[in-house]
Structure 1
Amino acid sequence: MTTRTTPPDDAYDEEERLPCGRPVAEVWECRERRADDPHARTCVHCRRAAEDFERLESAVRGLRDETEHPAVDTASLTRRVMDVVRLELRPGRPLPLGTATENLWITEAVAARALRAAAETVPGVRAGSCRFRDDPEGTAVGVRIEVHAPADRHLPDTARRIRRAVYETADRELGMPVTLVDVVVADVVTPADAQEDTSR
């Protein structure tokens, strides 16, 4: 039997809000889904935020189009960049920390940042999106992390090293119970690609 309580009601209060009171991430999500939003039609703050979203997405597309590698999956690149931007804007839901008897929580954004950094301790690896899902008991989480891996390394070995680094960081640095770590290799990069990317 567990004694962990539900996450605090104010867990989402830290997200960035517009002067009208609406979260920026909520406005962006509505814009991206092209959802009907009566408030945004009359609110100058929401309209400006939506326009900022469009400009950011256009800038990402522009950088994407300037790449010298036409074989790159550009739609996937844009999606990953925007996922990270949205995650940084919204702290996300609380995730459990410690044992089931402790009422300790960490937001998704903070946990994802730490686990992406852990994955990138493996030489040549660049981390992308990091997602969480609850286990049936609600006392631990599963992790799914996307990475770009070096093409000159054995991929299964690289994935094992990433998984070990993520587990160790979750346990030793965060104290977050993790039941599994799925590593998705979204792309492979050559050493020359990696060096060029970091020099920009």
Structure 2
Amino acid sequence: MAVDPSDDHEQLPCGTSADTLLEHLRAGTVTAHERTCPHCRAAADEFRPLLSALGAALDNDREVTAPPGLLDDVMSVVRAEGRSRGTLRLPDTGSGGTPGDTRVRHSAVSAMLRARVDPAGGLVLGRCRIEDTLEGLVVTATARVLTGTVIPDATARARRDMSTFVEDRLGLRVARIDIDVTDVIDLP
């Protein structure tokens, strides 16, 4: 599976461009798809604080600036992610190829696991940590749920989807997947 990080963040799982959605939200021209799609609605919920701050600044005819310390906070997260050098060694599939050692960074596996959980099921996966133990992978994730979601059902579905991916696509065992629900979100 090829992952091109240059454009992963620009498209929502439904195919809508995040930039287009943001522009529609700013202009008040949200499409019927964007109003009903769970992916677009979840992204709109995340854009809401930004749009609110931007609207207040424009109403007061003042320049929009970042809050003090925001750049330092963002850069500390970026630096921490950059230091994540942990890798998983994938087992040899015996496909007759040349011998070698295939490794995948924890951050790449985390991103792939987040992509396996469909927000349409009511669960939006956040941070995802990977630990390689003798018993198999231990995955610890945070999540937000949409109002009205049956949490045990949504987390069980997410665990099943992540476990299937790890076992079938990566060829690794799963020891445990913990999902910590940190928030309940309401979509308009």
Q: TM-score, normalised by structure 2?
A: 0.50
Q: TM-score, normalised by structure 1?
A: 0.47
